[in-house]
Chains A and B, each alone.
Chain A
Amino acid sequence: MILIVAEHANGKLSKSAYELATAARGLKREGGVTALVLGSGVASVAASAALIADQVLVADFAELAQYDAEVWSAAVTQIATEGEAEAVLIAGSRSGREYSPRVAVKLDAPLLEDVTSLKDEGGALHGEHYTFLTRVTERVEAKAAVAVVTVKAGAFAVAVAGTAAAEQFDVDLMLPPRRLKVTASTTEKTGRIALTEADIVVSGGRGVGTPEGFTQLVEGLADQLGAAVGATRAVVDAGWRPYSEQVGQTGKTVQPKAYIAVGISGAVQHLSGMNKSKVIVAINKDGGAPIFKIADYGIVGDVKEIVPAMIQELRK
């Protein structure tokens, strides 16, 4: 059986869970796809998971209300072991990539990280993933009784939910104590679509001038397009924008249908977070900026004039 760990947020199954289901189906293993839902008060999430998996295992406990790397890795390892999973698929989110190595060590399994493709050839898992700051594609292979795989956001199609719900089973878990005590958390809620789930991302860099410029230009254009908002490291470091919006090596990696870079010159660390976007649009006053080398469309000009004109054009 293939085990997928279904992520969720705010009572909703995450897009990554649907992508994991597609990746898991592609392996065509007997025993089907089992989804594991970890959390507290997750009945509706489990019901959604039941429409994309052949079986859903639900661990609904108050102790699972908040993510923890040690707790999650213990839970996933236990279920993978009991169910004799041949592969464990985990979302390539920050948390997924943080606890998956622990699962691999516990299972003495190979780990394929952040794959963009996955197939089964003669019992071995073959995948591709990016290396060298997303500039190189590496083909990797793991042959083992069980392998752990994290799956890159946006790389697989979203599974279409069926109409017949798979059976759900409650599972009991032996959970370790939490040793990393979270004393405070700041979650930025914007009401916009999540960066890694959006079809369109509008991102801003230093070139927007000021925090107010960012709001007016980047957020303004994003809201007009129903897009998510991204930012460069420089803008986040300057305190203009929250870290959760950062795109790049140390932030999020996105692969939207359209990535619109506003006032971004295109440092290699930023490009590594967005260079696989389907269509890249750049607006920048410096025509020699590296961002234009990977842009499909662009305007060399003053973002303070161009972007408001675009917003106005879109309103027409």
Chain B
Amino acid sequence: MRILTLIRQVLDAEESVRVRNGAVALEGSNLVMDTMDEYGVEAALRLREAGAEAEIVVVAVGPARAEEALRTALAMGADRGIHVVTDAALDAIALSSVMAQIAKAEGAELIFCGGQEADWDSQALGPATAERLHWPQATWTSALELKGSTLVGKHEADEGSESFEVSLPAVVTTQQGLNEPRYPTLPNIMKSKKKEVRKETLEAYGVAAKVRVNGVEIQVKERLKKILDGKDAAGAAAQLVKLLREEAGVIA
């Protein structure tokens, strides 16, 4: 079986965001594999360690620097990488076309993808890829195992969680809590440098962005920051309740 894990390189969540020339400036900031995608790489590795015979191929579409994220996944234990090198900004629906074409060409049976991208705040890539392949999807998984060719797991729904079963092929989206992604060990980092990362061009896939981005801004709501000292608990509580009632008008 071949498992694809789709990864993206994004701004580290701990970094502050800055806007320059109508876009979020990434120069000089720490860029990492999206943590949501890391859970997918880890999930693929664990399925293999639990006995599934699988080749794990990690796929990224993005600028030259995205190879760093691919190398991280390879150092975690993925077998090889595919890097569609482009500086084009693709929305999730357009990107899903590339991912689906790669999945078909690779004969993949299972695709992992992060539940929400930390840069676009988008949740669409996994489901859109599943639709293009006419595959079912299990989103926001929190537990996963493979029984033969059936995935058995748990995932989050609108209210509460559900246990599910789905036959392969399928797309699975991952999130924090599914597992604890491993840190690459030094020997594995060394090994990963010899692993194949196939470079491709976006032109071969014939996709164009469907959504135009007209600019970004950081809207910071000015906060009042009226912070009281709570040494006198009763006094502070009374004062806060009064502020919320009379000044903010948010409680009755």
- Interface SS of chain B: mixed
Residues of B218-232 contacting chain A, CB below 8 A: 218-219, 221, 223-231
Most buried by B among A100, A111, A140: A111
Chain A, Cβ-Cβ closest to B224:
A296
Most buried by B among A109, A233, A250, A307: A250
Q: A94-B156, A139-B216, A225-B251 are in contact. Are A101 and B93 (CB under 8 A)?
A: yes
Interface string of B96-125 (1 = CB under 8 A from A): 100000000000000000011011111111
* Cα-based distance from A180 to B24 in the complex (angstroms): 38
Q: Note all chain A residues with C-beta closer than 8 A to B124.
A: 97, 100-101, 104, 111, 113
Contacting residue for B240 out of A110, A268, A276, A297, CB 8 A: A297
Q: Note all chain A residues with C-beta closer than 8 A to B139.
A: 69, 94, 98
Confirm or deny: A281 has a beta carbon within 8 angstroms of a beta carbon on chain B. yes
- Is the Cβ of A294 less than 8 Å from the Cβ of B223? yes
The distance from the CB of A95 to the nearest CB of chain B, in whole angstroms, is 5
Confirm or deny: B157 has a beta carbon within 8 angstroms of a beta carbon on chain A. yes
* Cα-based distance from A151 to B138 in the complex (angstroms): 22
Confirm or deny: A313 has a beta carbon within 8 angstroms of a beta carbon on chain B. yes
Q: A105-B132, A131-B120, A310-B241 are in contact. Are A250 and B175 (CB under 8 A)?
A: yes
- Is the Cβ of A180 less than 8 Å from the Cβ of B230? no
- Is the Cβ of A297 less than 8 Å from the Cβ of B136? no
Interface residues in B, total, Cβ within 8 A: 80
- Is the Cβ of B226 less than 8 Å from the Cβ of A298? yes
Confirm or deny: B158 has a beta carbon within 8 angstroms of a beta carbon on chain A. yes
Interface string of A271-301 (1 = CB under 8 A from B): 0100010111111000100001111111111
- Interface SS of chain A: mixed
Chain A, Cβ-Cβ closest to B135:
A179
The distance from the CB of B202 to the nearest CB of chain A, in whole angstroms, is 18
- Is the Cβ of A182 less than 8 Å from the Cβ of B216? no
Interface residues in A, total, Cβ within 8 A: 93
Q: Note all chain B residues with C-beta closer than 8 A to A307.
A: 237
Contacting residue for A233 out of B176, B218, B229, CB 8 A: B176
Confirm or deny: A9 has a beta carbon within 8 angstroms of a beta carbon on chain B. yes
The distance from the CB of A6 to the nearest CB of chain B, in whole angstroms, is 14
Confirm or deny: B194 has a beta carbon within 8 angstroms of a beta carbon on chain A. no
12 pairs across A/B with beta carbons < 8 Å? A104-B93, A114-B121, A140-B212, A180-B137, A194-B159, A257-B250, A258-B244, A272-B121, A287-B227, A292-B227, A300-B227, A313-B241
A-side interface residues toward B, CB under 8 Å? 9, 67, 69-70, 73, 93-95, 97-102, 104-106, 109-114, 126, 129-144, 179-188, 194, 199-200, 225, 233, 237, 242-244, 249-250, 257-258, 268-269, 272, 276, 278-283, 287, 292-302, 305-307, 309-310, 312-314
7 residue pairs, one from A and one from B, having the closest CB atoms: A301-B230, A309-B237, A305-B233, A110-B210, A179-B136, A101-B124, A101-B128
